[in-house]
């Protein structure tokens, strides 16, 4: 006992302050027991330690990102099941993952006019073609609205097109989280008797939306080559994408919610229709708000 006490007395005290610099709790080791902050040391300010710490952080993030994306793409429902079970450390947080993928998708599809989902010119062109084909009255309504607004504001219709596109992109980025909430509410109604918390449905919605948007983002090179026009190739591509989304959703629902096969099929179809309607509503609201802002 005496030798142990002498050894403890001889052991050097850890360097750095005795209080946590973040929360002020007394430090009894290298890390704070209250908030997890590391005890600051003089060696933390060395170049060697700084570089090693940065490399460790990047490696950890890269590992988490790779593990999360592989599970998201190839293990439907796995991420949600792991999160609910409490095994959250190895993966990115659901909200961070979803918002990051939404931001990436928005950036990719606005980086080039060759493949952009936010170009009012394409909508006006399609509207003109339909009006001419079906001999609809007021087929040039939007052209006249843009011409009047351009004359009133002392600019050109082309400049207003670009302004509408900018507002459209911003509105979509603001409204996209609404898709997560509406999909979670739909899941809450479909699985009303499952006795699950709303947050569980919310996390499932985030993971499914992340998959749907990520696969759309990965299709950007195809749209860049084919262009975004209502051609037969693009329609076939879109049909294949919808089929993939439905199959993924069915498997994810089976993995996470369980239940009978027939009910899972029905619930997958209802959920996908709700997701598609929510997607369409978000984009319609975004473009309507953009047109109202620019043409008023």
Which residue range(s) make up the domain with 27? 16-45
* Backbone angles phi and psi of 257, in degrees to 5: -95, -15
Cα 220 to Cα 107, 243, 249, distances in angstroms: 11, 18, 22
Q: Are 211 and 154 in the same domain?
A: yes
CA distance 76 to 224: 28
Q: Are 234 and 126 in the same domain?
A: yes
pLDDT at residue number 273: 94
pLDDT at residue number 10: 45
Q: Is residue 64 part of a domain?
A: no
Q: Are 98 and 181 in the same domain?
A: yes
pLDDT at residue number 57: 55
Q: Are 26 and 124 in the same domain?
A: no
pLDDT at residue number 129: 78
State the helix-helix crossing angle for 78-85 and 94-108, rounded to 10 degrees.
150
Q: How many domains does the chain have?
A: 2
Report whether 222 contacts 237 (CB < 8 A): yes
Greatest alpha-carbon pair distance for the chain in Å reads 102
Q: Is residue 136 part of a domain?
A: yes
Q: Are 129 and 267 in the same domain?
A: yes
Q: Is residue 2 part of a domain?
A: no
C-beta neighbour count of 175 within 10 angstroms: 16
Q: Are 29 and 143 in the same domain?
A: no
Q: Are 40 and 102 in the same domain?
A: no
Q: What pTM value is reported for the model?
A: 0.79
Tell how far CA 90 is from the center of its chain.
19
pLDDT 10s digits, 218-256: 999 988 888 877 788 888 999 999 999 999 999 999 999
Residues in contact with 44: Cβ distance below 8 Å, sequence separation at least 6, in sequence order: 50, 53
Walk along the chain (296 residues) in steps of 10 and give the mean pLDDT of each run: 46 57 74 71 61 55 85 96 93 94 91 84 82 76 88 92 93 91 95 92 96 94 83 88 95 92 91 92 93 91
Q: Are 29 and 153 in the same domain?
A: no
Q: Is residue 221 part of a domain?
A: yes
pLDDT at residue number 105: 92
Q: Is residue 128 part of a domain?
A: yes
């Amino acid at each position: 006992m005496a030798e142990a006490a002498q050894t403890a007395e001889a052991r050097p005290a850890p360097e750095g302050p005795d209080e946590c610099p973040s929360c002020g709790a007394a430090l009894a080791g290298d890390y704070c027991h209250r908030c997890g902050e590391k005890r600051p040391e003089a060696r933390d300010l060395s170049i060697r330690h700084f570089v090693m710490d940065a490399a460790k952080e990047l490696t950890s993030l890269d590992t988490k990102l790779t593990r999360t994306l592989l599970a998201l793409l190839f293990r439907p429902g796995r991420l949600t099941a792991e999160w609910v079970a409490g095994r959250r450390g190895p993966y990115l947080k659901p909200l961070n993952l979803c918002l990051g993928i939404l931001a990436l998708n928005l950036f990719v599809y606005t980086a080039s006019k060759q493949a952009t989902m936010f170009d009012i010119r394409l909508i006006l062109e399609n509207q003109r073609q339909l009006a001419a084909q079906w001999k609809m009255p007021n087929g040039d309504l939007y052209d006249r609205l843009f011409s009047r607004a351009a004359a009133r504001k002392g600019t050109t219709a082309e400049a207003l097109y670009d302004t509408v596109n900018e507002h459209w992109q911003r509105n979509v980025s603001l409204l996209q989280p609404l898709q997560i909430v509406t999909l979670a509410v739909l899941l809450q109604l479909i699985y009303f008797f499952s006795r699950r918390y709303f947050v569980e449905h919310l996390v499932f919605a985030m993971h499914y939306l992340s998959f749907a948007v990520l696969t759309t983002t990965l299709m950007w090179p195809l749209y860049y080559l084919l262009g975004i026009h209502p051609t037969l190739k693009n329609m076939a591509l879109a049909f294949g994408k919808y089929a993939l989304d439905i199959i993924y959703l069915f498997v994810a629902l089976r993995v996470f919610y369980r239940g009978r096969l027939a009910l899972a099929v029905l619930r997958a179809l209802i959920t996908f229709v709700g997701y598609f309607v929510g997607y369409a509503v978000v984009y319609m609201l975004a473009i309507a708000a953009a047109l109202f802002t620019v043409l008023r």
